[in-house]
Amino acid sequence: MFTRLREDIATIRERDPAARSAWEVLTCYPGLHALVLHRLAHACWQARRRWLGRFVSQMARFMTGIEIHPGATVGRRVFIDHGMGVVIGETAQIGDDCTIYQGVTLGGTSLTRGAKRHPTLERGVIVGAGAKVLGGFTIGADAKIGSNAVVTKPVPAGGTAVGNPARVIVPAAASTASATAAAAVAAVVTRAAANAGNNGVANAAANSAPNAAANGGVSAARDAATNEPASANGTSPESGKLAVERSGFCAYGITPNADDPVSLAIHGLIDHAATQAKRIDEIVMALEHLGTSLEGLQGADAALLDLRRLSAAIAGKLDGAVVGR
Contacts of 55 (CB under 8 A, 6+ apart): none
The top-scoring range by mean pLDDT among 36-40, 211-215, 225-229, 317-321 is: 36-40
161-183 per-position pLDDT tens digit: 988 888 888 765 554 554 555 55
Q: Could you report how far apart the first and last alpha carbons of the chain are, in Å?
A: 88
Q: Model pTM?
A: 0.58
Beta strands at 160-162 and 144-145: parallel, antiparallel or unpaired: parallel
**Dihedral sign, CA of 223, 226, 230, 235?**
negative
Beta strands at 167-169 and 160-162: parallel, antiparallel or unpaired: antiparallel
89-126 per-position pLDDT tens digit: 999 999 999 999 999 999 998 888 888 999 999 999 99
DSSP code, position 216 = T
How far apart CA 191 and CA 153 sit, in angstroms, is 45
> Is 106 within 8 Å of 121 (Cβ atoms)?
yes
Q: Is the pLDDT of residue 33 over 90?
A: yes
59-79 per-position pLDDT tens digit: 999 999 999 999 999 999 999
The top-scoring range by mean pLDDT among 129-133, 163-167, 229-233, 309-313 is: 129-133
Q: Is the pLDDT of residue 46 over 50?
A: yes
248-271 per-position pLDDT tens digit: 556 666 665 555 666 677 878 888
How far apart CA 164 and CA 131 sit, in angstroms, is 10
Structural domains present in the chain? 2-169 (2.160.10.10), 174-236+254-290 (no CATH)
The string of DSSP codes covering 183-207 is HHHHHHHHHHHHT-TTT-HHHHHHH
- The mean predicted confidence, pLDDT, of the chain is 75
**Dihedral sign, CA of 176, 181, 183, 187?**
positive
* Helix (H) or strand (E) run with residue 74 in it: strand 73-74
From edge to edge, which strands make up the β-sheet containing 160-162? Answer: 79-80, 99-100, 126-127, 144-145, 160-162, 167-169
How far apart CA 135 and CA 145 sit, in angstroms, is 14
